[in-house]
Amino acid sequence: MTPNHDWEEILRAAHNDPLDPAHYTAVRARVLAEIERTHNPWRRLAWLSGAAALALLFFLPLPSRRPQLPPLRAVSLAIPTAPPAPVTRSRPRPLQVATAARLHREAVTIKLQTNDPNIVIYWIAE
């Protein structure tokens, strides 16, 4: 026999021993007392009412003491009328005829020199 086998037999024998009914009664009484202690509806009601009161204090506006201003008196002003629109006469524009000189313009090239001999600017205009 191995040492492990001996311990297994001892443990099995301990599990097979019958328990006294008094032990069951004591365990049952302790479990029911713990359930009764933790299941207190008044404690839950106190927590919920405290949370609700805190929420009301947070969300309700607090009355503020602002100075009372005297009421404003009514003011009536006459709005002036708009000035009349200026009278303009439309003149007929003379027709412009494109001429050959306007269509074929020559490009003008302008050379700009700067103080630096390496920089030269060419401007091409029509």
pLDDT tens per residue, range 34-54: 888 777 777 778 888 999 998
Mean pLDDT of the region 51-62 = 82
For residue 100, pLDDT beyond 60:
no
Residue 116 gets which letter from DSSP? S
Mean pLDDT of the region 6-21 = 82
For residue 1, pLDDT beyond 50:
no
**DSSP letters of 21-61?**
HHHHHHHHHHHHHHHHHH--HHHHHHHHHHHHHHHHHHHSP
For residue 101, pLDDT beyond 60:
no
Amino acid symbol at 123: W
Token duo for residue 10: 């001892």
pLDDT tens per residue, range 112-126: 888 998 888 888 887
